[in-house]
Amino acid sequence: MPLATQGSVKTLAPDDLKGIETKILLGNTYHLYLRPGLEVIERFGGLHRFMAWDGPMLTDSGGFQVFSLGHLRKINDEGALFRSHIDGSEHFLTPELAIDIQQTLGADIIMAFDECCPYDAKPESVREAMNRTHRWAERCLKRHKRKDQLLFGIVQGGTSTEMRRESAEALVSLDFPGYAIGGLSVGEPKDLMYPITRETAALPPADKPRYLMGVGSPEDLVECVSCGIDMFDCALPTRIARNGALFTNKGRANIRNARFKKQDQPIDPHCNCYTCRTFSAAYLHHLFKCEELLGYRLTTIHNLRFILSLMEQMRSRIIEGTFAEFRDDFMAKYKPVNDEIRTAQKAKWLQAQRAK
């Protein structure tokens, strides 16, 4: 799911998204609640009409954004007291309000309000947050009334397999139509994230979708699909596109690099996106050197189409029964970003969110 955090996927219009065959978008409850506010969106009959998107949409509950605020929030059993990163105004977000907001936004899939912990939190803090998430999940179910929306629960439990199992069992007993895995990809190394994902994905009923929140690098998508995950969202493809980093079948390429100055071929000859069908790598290099806004749009189109195409390929190979071969071939060719660099970048991003 490309992120339409504030009602738009950065640099792209709805026609661009349809052109790359986007099936579903993710909107952000926290940000839309603060700006433009529910009164405005309600006047338009919901977020779909407000942003002119007629396809499916998922909204999160705001739990991760509240977690990211750090010193600007306080959490108790009733909810989360936080200060807006925009104007410092004080708000109290409860499970009931999170559901009311999402019912007003009118997304097709909405999320229960949860408490997310840092991956290195003490076990007692993780357990407290997990138990609170379970109680909040019950309150969310009780509050939710719209029959045209699916409400997903969110499994927490940090990096403890025991608590992950306990959390999954508690939420499955509430019979949600789908289950998300939260509290991963928050700075932990991949050799810790992958086994937790695999073990947790095996816990919900086989006929219920699994959604791993906040994961979107190509190698993570392939590995986590092998773990049993069905749905993903992440700001990574669009964020790095605006910094000139483009996905290719061999890994990321920095379009600012001098080697692209005279390249008459597209950045990825295997890609069928508008950018690669129309423009050379040399032209993209020129746009970024000149800081032309068109460059951000073209690289975003490419990165999102690359990710969506990757998901389509995996789906086809699963249906064909040849996914294992696809995974091995992809991993042999694709060079991921060094895990230490990735972890440092993630920590820097989280710190920036908390500083807002």
Q: Is 252 helix (H, G, I), strand (E, B) or coil?
A: strand
Q: Can you name the residues that pair with 110 across neighbouring β-strands?
A: 59, 151
3-state secondary structure of 242: coil
Q: Which residues contact 329 (CB under 8 A, 6 or more apart)?
A: none
How remote is the C-alpha of 353 from its chain's centroid? Answer: 15
Between CA 351 and CA 26 the distance in angstroms is: 23
Contacts of 133 (CB under 8 A, 6+ apart): 112, 114, 115, 154, 156, 167
Catalytic residue among 114, 220, 233, 268: 233
Options 15, 16, 54, 60, the catalytic residue: 60
Distance set, CA 352 to CA 6, 73, 136, 171 (Å): 18, 15, 28, 32
Determine the residue type at 221. L
CB of 107 closer than 8 Å to CB of 59 = yes
Instruction: Look at residue 336 and give its three-state secondary structure.
Output: coil
Coil vs helix vs strand at 27: strand
3-class SS of residue 270? coil
Spatial distance between the Cα atoms of 187 and 346, rounded to a whole number of angstroms: 6
C-alpha span between 186 and 289 (Å, rounded) = 32
The DSSP 8-state label assigned to residue 275 in this structure reads H
The span from the CA of 18 to the CA of 238, in Å, is 16
Percent helix, percent strand, percent coil in the chain, to nearest 5? 50, 15, 40
* Catalytic residue list contains 233: yes
Give CA separation, 275 vs 168, 267, 284, in Å: 42, 9, 9
Rounded CA-CA distance 341/172 in Å is 36
Which residues have a catalytic role annotated? Answer: 60, 233
